[in-house]
Amino acid sequence: MKHTFFITIISAALVLTASSCKKEFLGQADPNAVTVADYFTSENDVLTAVNGAYQSLRSNAGMAEGSGLYTEERSDNTGRNDNQSNAGEPFQFNDFSLLPSNTYLQNHWNALYKIINAANFALAGADIIKFNDPDLKSQYSAEAKFVRALAYFDLVRKWGAVALVTKPVSSIDEAMQKNTRVSVDSIYAQIVNDLTDAADSKLPDLQPVSGKGRASRAAANALLGKVYLTMASALSSTKRADNLQSALHYLTASYNMRTFGTLNEIPYADVFDVDKKTTCPELLFQIEYKQGDKDYSSSIAASNQAKGETTNSLKPGTGSGGNVKLDLIKDYESGDLRKDFSVKFAKDPTVNDWYITKFRDKSALAGTSGYGGNDWILLRYADVILLLAEVNMDLGNNEAAIAFLDQVRDRAGLQNYKEAIKNPAYAARYPTLKLAILHERRVELAFENQRLYDLLRDFTPEQFVAYIHAKDQADYGLAKISNCGTKDYYYPIPFKDNNLNPEGMYQNPGY
């Protein structure tokens, strides 16, 4: 059958089989068959469903640690030089030759909607059950809305107008009615509503150690600030000033909830240290992985390790590892402490290239199987600080913007901005404060799936194409820079969904 959308939605609607409240958070099972009315009988059932929404984030086809194909490889940070494996479909993302029929594209779309419907299922349950403590209902609903907003924010930035589904879908007819794109403004309105509710909820400002991997008010405020900053670029210019002020408000609220002074109090390596992932004060929201567990461990350290190298994992590397573009390597300034931690050159003659070393776990528990304990970080304070630099710059508050920018540069062991801009080489590469902030976000957040969204937020489609075309093909690898066109600002709607409803799920221009 061609009904991909409703298969995705209905399968995702059945979020959990009946499971004990004592079942471990990471081990929540995906469902086979259960309806909202039949499943929810207690407050604990709602908690189990919320845990299922978090569990849905762990799909590498969606937003988890293995999702770099859809973000980093679509940007100028990484990208494979193999155009043959898996029918060449992964290569299409970085080569700007992406086809609507690409099965990885379809899987990504499906995974994001499964996250959304898992959250919808939990929210429906919260509405059914009578809670003894209204604050507990608010907390569970806020967590589910935060997860739903995360997925919709990914969708709207990658595809533009998409289908808006806010209730569990349990029939083909219902799914068919939802298989229609709504405006970008409508999607952002839903994201803002969800995150505003989460930011104003009874969630803790920051989660304690026991709550790591769950949403907090600081995380909701940070994400909402990023959403408003994106809206300032994505929506009509008449709303730009209001969106920028809202971005400043929510980013500042998140920043003021931090438990440290300035960023240089936290060593860069500590942010990614598996032994400090529950205590590092920079982390705002992460997807949890369990070290040493075959089913729930992280594989990112071992997957990124190149043949002949031992930096990341005790598991021997067999291939090129996490490929890094020379274009990014050249963007690191001399003396940047982040470079030696984040990347390394693999000398094995079958590799002879740079690979990612940012995510490491050489513990005995991870072992030679590579069952690592790295959590996947979706939000951290360096991101918030650089967003504060960006929004202050957009509002004309350059001194405040530079102060935030310098916080990040100071930790990296670099000159402050006003000194750096006196350097002719720095000034030539980053002649504006906007480009300096974009550069800083690139090297600070490399391989954390932020780069593509930064480019889309900072540039119009025409500017995005010009920026990519200005790069040196020799630094970009086998993928062709010349393929990039304005159509590549968005992904194509997956073929099966477009084919099911060509008018309602219309294709993006150029595909």
**Are residues 383 and 341 part of one domain?**
no
pLDDT of residue 8: 55
What is the C-alpha separation between 487 and 508, in angstroms, rounded?
8
pLDDT of residue 94: 97
Measure Cα distances from 251 to 36, 215, 377, 405 in Å.
Answer: 36, 16, 18, 15
In this structure, is residue 453 part of a structural domain? Answer: no
**Are residues 279 and 317 part of one domain?**
no
Single out the residue in 308, 334, 361 at which a domain terminates: 361
In this structure, is residue 292 part of a structural domain? Answer: no
In this structure, is residue 369 part of a structural domain? Answer: no
**Are residues 265 and 244 part of one domain?**
yes
Question: Tens digit of pLDDT for each residue in 302-324?
Answer: 999 999 999 999 999 999 999 99
Contact indicator for 408, 386 with CB cutoff of 8 Å: yes
Global pTM value: 0.94
pLDDT of residue 87: 93
Q: What's the domain range around 411?
A: 204-287+377-444
The two tokens of residue 25 are: 């958070």
pLDDT of residue 172: 74
CATH code of the domain containing 139: 1.25.40.390
**Are residues 388 and 351 part of one domain?**
no
In this structure, is residue 295 part of a structural domain? Answer: no
**Are residues 57 and 17 part of one domain?**
yes
**Are residues 243 and 126 part of one domain?**
no
In this structure, is residue 190 part of a structural domain? Answer: no
The two tokens of residue 80 are: 């494979």
What is the C-alpha separation between 79 and 480, in angstroms, rounded?
11
In this structure, is residue 251 part of a structural domain? Answer: yes
Residues of the chain with pLDDT under 50: 1-2, 6-7, 9-23, 25, 28-33
**Are residues 467 and 415 part of one domain?**
no
pLDDT of residue 173: 74
What is the C-alpha separation between 417 and 377, in angstroms, rounded?
27
Any residues with CB less than 8 A from the CB of 180 and at least 6 apart, and which? Answer: 163, 501, 504, 505
DSSP 162: -
**Are residues 348 and 319 part of one domain?**
yes
In this structure, is residue 353 part of a structural domain? Answer: yes
Any residues with CB less than 8 A from the CB of 380 and at least 6 apart, and which? Answer: 271, 282, 283, 284
For residue 341, the cross-strand partners are none
User: Buried b vs exposed e over 323-333: b needs ≥16 C-beta within 10 Å?
Assistant: bbbebbeebbb
Contact indicator for 137, 210 with CB cutoff of 8 Å: no
Q: Which amino acid is at 301?
A: A
**Are residues 347 and 227 part of one domain?**
no
Tokens 């050249």 sit on residue: 330
**Are residues 435 and 464 part of one domain?**
no
Single out the residue in 414, 444, 474 at which a domain terminates: 444
Q: Considering its fold, how many domains does the chain have in total?
A: 3
**Are residues 80 and 52 part of one domain?**
yes
**Are residues 278 and 164 part of one domain?**
no
In this structure, is residue 454 part of a structural domain? Answer: no
Task: Give residue 62's Cα distance to chain centre.
Answer: 9
- Determine the 3-state secondary structure of 313 from DSSP: strand
pLDDT of residue 236: 59
